[in-house]
Amino acid sequence: MQILIKIVVTSIAGGVAYLLTNVTKQPEVWQITMSVFVAGVVLVVQFLIDVAEQSRQLAEAIRVEGAKQSQELIASVSEISEAATHLAAAENRVGRDSVIRLVESAGRMDPEEALQRRFTHRQIADLADLIDGLRSGRAEHEGEDPDWLLGLTETAITSIDATSMTSFERHRGLVDEGEFWESDLGLRYLDRQRQAIERKVRIRRLFLLTEDATDVVQLEKLLEPHRKISVETRILRPENVYFLYQNDLEDFIIFDQQISYEFHTSRTLKKNVTPLIANVALVVDPRLVKKRRDRFEELWDAAEPREDEPTP
């Protein structure tokens, strides 16, 4: 359509030029020459105008696209900068080698292995939840998590103080019904404690006995593996527990006086059924950890020391 318009305009310009030269009685050759010249000039001008407009539109498009790309580039740089800042902070807090290893290992995963990627994503999400929980003062895990228990035992450097609700009656849902320390987890936990003691970590375990825990032979059998690896042990009988604490006793383990590992068992409506561990928690809130420390020291002081334990 635009070409047709150009042709019409050019023809009109040439015709007008021819008429003007004809009115002035110019020779025929000049009339034709001038009309062709004028038409050509008009045609060139039209094309120059089009070229200028197209150049303007192109420049505007480049400007808009350039601005868009610049914004995207700035956003990308900002994201990279933010990620680098977090990476640097993580390196300073948890160790550069571990962070770099995690990032490099994730980057080298085979993109075709969808199941591996989904599983890895789940594990990293769990790790992020753990870190977020520790930052907020309490991290929880549904069900039992032996990695937390064993990992904290491996990384403790000064002390481990633990209470163990102890019953010799089956199906009470207590850790120290006697079977835990013979299980795979119990044996691994004992071995980690042995290694910690070799690192000069002081470990104290307080056995809180229920009323049915009166069998001396069973009690000695329960205490034996702990004493063999030099865990300081004491027993606390119900009559020695301060009356205000009688209904407020729980299992907890305090690592380095900073983290309290706690677990809670589920409830069951049937008899002769051992409840499962419902959840475990890592408590790092300084106020709550202090309460646990104070409670442990009170119970420890009220407990019966072993016969060969030196008197303070």
Model pLDDT for residues 89-138, shown as the tens digit of each residue: 555 555 556 667 777 777 777 878 888 888 888 888 888 888 888 889 99
d(CA 303, CA 249): 14
Same domain, 80 and 66: yes
Residues 270 and 287 in one domain: yes
Residue 311, domain member (yes or no) = no
- pLDDT by residue (tens digit) across 9-23? 455 554 555 455 555
Strands, sheet with 159-166, edge to edge from the N-terminal-most edge strand: 138-142, 277-283, 259-265, 252-255, 159-166, 202-209, 232-236, 304-305
The segments of the chain whose pLDDT lies below 70 read 1-56, 58-59, 62-99, 166-178, 212-214, 242-249, 266-276, 306-312
Residue 131's domain comprises: 110-138
Which among 225, 213, 229 has a CA at the least distance from the CA of 304? 213
Same domain for 119 and 224, yes or no, is no
Domain finish residue from 138, 155, 181: 138
The verdict on residue 243 lying in a domain is: yes
Beta bridge partners of 233: 205
Q: Is residue 173 domain-shared with residue 76, that is, in the same domain?
A: no
Tell me whether residue 312 is in a domain. no
The tally of domains found in the chain comes to: 3
Note the helical H segments in 95-145: 96-107, 114-136
| Statement to judge: residues 160 and 288 lie in one domain | yes
Residue 260 and residue 128 in one domain? no
- Do 31 and 84 belong to one domain? yes
